[in-house]
Amino acid sequence: MKHRYATLAALVAVCLTAGCDLTGPTTAGDPPTADATLAPPAEAASPTPGGTADGGPGAVRGAGGIPDPCTLLTESEVVDLTGREVTRNDEDGGDAGDVTRFCQWQQDHGQLTIFLSRTTAADFDVTVAAARPVDGVGEKAYWHSGHLYVLHGALQIDVYSRGGSDAQNLADAEQVAKVVIPRV
């Protein structure tokens, strides 16, 4: 339970400093959180783009370590996927044993942030009433408050893209998720 509060606190802190929309409608249910019982082993190796934490396909999707999200996309890929130049990159400084990781690319007139968290299908399904299902990305996905939440095995991928209209931000987030999914 402490890990859930720590994960939520980290997400709120990042959102407050990154400009996420926390003022949107909130209704019954808690936001999806990482399940502390699925915390990956701390000794997992670092990934490379196109690989997984321990080098095997689907390792992160299951119980492998969570990679540094900053290694999942190159700066040129971020520019290609969003159409915005990167002005700064903020890393979380965590390690593969953490239950939540993030990377944020500050951009001209916007930003892209990727959060990776351990979860379960049941925790992922705890959504707010205003969440909109999104088809064609991961096992399940929904859009809420500018975030695209994607379930990929025991991993939740949260993509926050800001800099265009809501429709463009969702389209950018979907493209980013589709590139990242095979790499985790």
Q: What is the mean pLDDT of the chain?
A: 75
Q: For the whole prediction, is pTM greater than 0.75?
A: no
Distance CA 61, CA 49 (A): 15
List of residues 6+ apart from 130 with CB closer than 8 A: 24, 25, 27, 144
Instruction: Name the CA radius of gyration of the chain, rounded.
Output: 15
Structural domain span for residue 30: 2-183
The number of domains in the chain is 1
Which pLDDT score is estimated for 12?
39
With a cut of 50, which residues of the chain have pLDDT below it? 1-59
Which pLDDT score is estimated for 58?
44
Residue 83: exposure state from Cβ atoms within 10 A (0-12, 13-18, ≥19): middle
Closest residue by Cα to residue 61 from 136, 14, 119: 119
